[in-house]
Amino acid sequence: MRYRFLAEAHRRPVWSEGAQEVTRSSLVGTSSTETVIVGGGLSGLWTAFWLTEYSPGVLVHIVEAERIGHGASGRNGGWLSSLLPVSLTDLSFSIGEDRTVAVQTTMFEAVNEVVDLCLRHSIDADVAHGGSVSLIRGPAHEVRAQADIEDYRRFGFATHIAHLDRRHTAERVRVDNESVFRPDCAVIHPRRLVEALARLLEDRGVVIHENSRATSIGSGRVETPNGLLVANSVVDCREAYGARDSGRRVVPIQSSMIATEPLSPKIWERIGLFGREALSDYRRQIVYAQRTADDRLAFGGRGVGYSYGSRVRSSADFDDRVHSQLFESMVDLFPELRDTRITHRWGGPLGVPRDWTWTVDFDVHDRVGRMGGYVGDGVTSTYVAGRAMARLIMEGADDLALVGHRSPRWEPEPLRWIGINTANRLASMVDRQESAGRVGGVLSRVVDALIG
C-alpha cells in the first residue's frame, strides 16, 4: 500500500519547526588556532564545550560541511539515554568487568549532568526526564527483556532497571503489555540542543564555520575549499560521514523517522506517555519514539539497506518502504493513530563499529583525535566522549575506559555489503516470526552471528 503521507509530508526533521536557526559564514583564508574540530554535531560541540570549560579563552575553531546539526545530531529521536549499544556482558568481554561498570556508571551520571547543564545554561531543549519504557510484546521479547534485567543485575545496576507488570506499564503507556522501565533516560529536542550549544560556544569565543567541508584533515592542519586552519590539535568528529576514511572501523547505517501532527489531549489520554517517557519495544529491527513537547509522536526505526562501499546517500533519508513500515509499526502499537496525519519524514546516518563499541582516540604525537561509533546511542555518549577528548587534548590522558578502544575491522566488500544487508533483512523476518509467537528460531541466531 502506498500511503499519502509519502508524497505529502515535509521531507525534513520535525525538529526544524520553530527552531531558532543562525547562518554562519564559511572559512576563507588562513588562520591559526589551538584546536580545530571537523564536524559540527554533538561530538564536535561537546568537545569544544569541555575544552572551553577546562580552559576558558582557549582558541577553538569548528568546521562544518553543511550547517551545525546537519548530521544525526540534529535529526535524532531525542533519547538522552544511558544506553550503550552492546550489553554489559559483551562489553566486559572486550574491556573487562571493572571498566564496564565504570563506563556504565559514567553514562548514568551523564544523563543527569546534561539535564542539569541545560537548566544551568538556560538551554531550552524541551527536556523531560521521564525514563524509558521498552514494551514486551510476546514470548521472544520476554527472553530479551529478562536478559537485559539479568545483565544489569550482574553488574550491580539492579536499581537502574525494573520489570513492570501490565498494570504498571499501563500507567505509563496505554497498552496491554508488560515492559522494562529504565529511569536513566530523558527526552530532548535535538535541534534546540545543538543550536543552543553552538550559541553558548560562540559566547565563549569558539569560531564556527558552516558550509566549510574539510577536504584534507591531518596533523596540524585542516583544509577546506577556500581556507586553511593551522592548529596544535585536530579532532575528526565526522562520525558516520567519515566511515570511508576509517580503515573499515565504522560503517554508516541509516535510521529513519516520521512525526505525526500535534495530537489532541483525547488521543494522548488513550496513548499515555504522560511523563514523556521514551518508548521502544524488544523487536530485532529497533524502533523508538518520543512524545514531543508540542504533543506529536516522533517515531523512528531502522531497516534501510546499507550502501555498498560505506557511502552515505542523502536519498536514503527518504526510503518509502521503511517510512511505510514505521507508520505500520506505529499504528500496530496505537491503532487510534490510523488516520493521523504524518507531517514530517526524514532519516540520517549513524556510525556502527564492528563490535558496536564507541571510541575516543587521540594520538599524542601527531595530535589528531577521532571519536564516534555510537550506533543509535550517541546523544549522551557524545557528551562523555567530548569530555574525554578535551582531557586528552589538554592533559594527554583520560581515565574513560573506552579511550583508545579499537574495534575490529569490518569485512572488505562485497562481504560487508552481503553480511549487513542479509542481517538487515533477516532481522525483519525474525520480527515477523516472533510476532506470530515463535521464540529463538534459527534466523535469530543467524542475525546474531552476522552482526553480533
Ligand X SMILES: Cc1cc2nc3c(=O)[nH]c(=O)nc-3n(C[C@H](O)[C@H](O)[C@H](O)COP(=O)(O)OP(=O)(O)OC[C@H]3O[C@@H](n4cnc5c(N)ncnc54)[C@H](O)[C@@H]3O)c2cc1C
CA distance 61 to 31: 10
- Report how far Cα 193 is from the mean position of its chain's Cα atoms: 14
Please identify, using beta-carbon distances, which residue of 171 and 320 lies nearer to ligand X.
320
Binding mask 377-406 for ligand X (x = CB under 6 A): xxxx-x------------------------
From the list 85, 227, 272, 376, which residue makes contact with ligand X (rule: CB under 6 A)? 376
From the list 72, 197, 251, 401, which residue makes contact with ligand X (rule: CB under 6 A)? 72
CA distance 264 to 335: 15
Closest distance between ligand X and the C-beta of residue 253, in Å?
Answer: 9
CA distance readout (Å), 23 to 49, 56, 57, 68, 144: 20, 25, 23, 9, 45
Closest distance between ligand X and the C-beta of residue 441, in Å?
Answer: 28
Burial of 61 (0-12, 13-18, 19+ CB in 10 A): buried
Within residues 214-243, the interface with ligand X by CB under 6 A covers 214, 237-241
From the list 347, 392, 405, 444, which residue makes contact with ligand X (rule: CB under 6 A)? 347
From the list 17, 34, 53, 66, which residue makes contact with ligand X (rule: CB under 6 A)? 66
Please identify, using beta-carbon distances, which residue of 234 and 443 lies nearer to ligand X.
234
Please list the residues that pair with 222 across neighbouring strands.
217, 229
Using CB under 6 A as the binding rule, whether residue 44 contacts ligand X is answered as: yes
Please identify, using beta-carbon distances, which residue of 127 and 140 lies nearer to ligand X.
127
Using CB under 6 A as the binding rule, whether residue 15 contacts ligand X is answered as: no
Please identify, using beta-carbon distances, which residue of 259 and 430 lies nearer to ligand X.
259
Using CB under 6 A as the binding rule, whether residue 70 contacts ligand X is answered as: yes
CB 123 within 8 A of CB 188: no
Residue 150, C-alpha cell as written in the block: 539479568
Using CB under 6 A as the binding rule, whether residue 137 contacts ligand X is answered as: no
CB 197 within 8 A of CB 45: yes
CA distance readout (Å), 17 to 12, 259, 274, 407: 9, 12, 23, 38
Using CB under 6 A as the binding rule, whether residue 38 contacts ligand X is answered as: yes
The site for ligand X, by CB under 6 A, has a size of 43
Please identify, using beta-carbon distances, which residue of 136 and 187 lies nearer to ligand X.
187
CA distance 357 to 337: 36
From the list 35, 52, 76, 134, which residue makes contact with ligand X (rule: CB under 6 A)? 76
CA distance 224 to 63: 8
CA distance readout (Å), 297 to 21, 157, 255, 276: 23, 30, 16, 10
Residues of the shown chain interacting with ligand X in the complex, contacts defined by CB under 6 A: 38-44, 63-66, 70-73, 75-79, 81, 213-214, 237-241, 255, 257, 288, 300, 347-348, 350, 372, 374, 376-380, 382
